[in-house]
Amino acid sequence: MSAPAGRLLITGVDAAGRSCAAQDGPVTLEGFPGFEGILFSVLYATAAAPTLSDGGRSADTLDLGVPPGTINWKIIDYGPGVAFSMHHTDTVDLDLVLSGSVELLLDDGAHPLEAGDTAVVTGVDHAWRTGPDGCRLSVMSVGVAAETSSTAT
């Protein structure tokens, strides 16, 4: 229970319409009311169906085969030094770094992620570049209609 909880990065779009880290900070665990010895943190939640960020989508679309309203949960192993090109998807991706390290590349720069870190990629342009040991990610992709968007800051 005392292990670091990592950090959370949520993508968005800046005033110039570029993909960016809209939120980036440590994850804080709190006690679960009525249950001794349990700590938790809500990493990401929506009050309605998720939407894609409005803008930040000039790179090629990568079709992950996740239709709107469906979920696809996968484990991805990237080898050492792999560079996955800039792209965007019609999904909101909930990413957890299980091991190794990776840089989430957005229009505003590189954002290093280590084991235990999380990222929410809201359909914006992004790329991945792994560290010297590669990276294992757990990725839950939520399919979103491409015309569904909201302004994220």
Q: Which pLDDT does position 3 carry in this prediction?
A: 57
Query: What domain range is 54 assigned to?
Result: 7-150
| pLDDT score at 107 | 97
Domain assignment of residue 31, yes or no = yes
Identify whether 23 is part of a domain. Answer: yes
Q: Is 71 part of a structural domain of the chain?
A: yes
- On whether residue 121 sits in a domain, the answer given is yes
- What integer pLDDT is reported at residue 128 of this predicted model? 98
Residue 80 is predicted with a pLDDT of 98
CATH of residue 57: 2.60.120.10
Q: How many domains does the chain have?
A: 1
Going by DSSP bridges, is the β-strand pair 118-121/30-32 parallel, antiparallel, or unpaired? unpaired
Model pLDDT for residues 52-96, shown as the tens digit of each residue: 988 878 899 889 999 999 999 999 999 999 999 999 999 999 999
Specify if 2 maps to a domain. Answer: no
Q: Which of 69, 50, 62, 55 is nearest to 86 (CA)?
A: 62
- Does residue 84 fall inside a structural domain? yes
Q: Tell me whether residue 1 is in a domain.
A: no
10-residue stretch averages of pLDDT, the chain, 153 residues long: 78 96 95 91 92 86 93 98 95 98 98 98 97 98 81 42
Q: Other CB atoms closer than 10 Å to residue 92's CB: what's the count?
A: 23
**Residue 139 covered by a domain:** yes
**CB 104 within 8 Å of CB 128:** yes
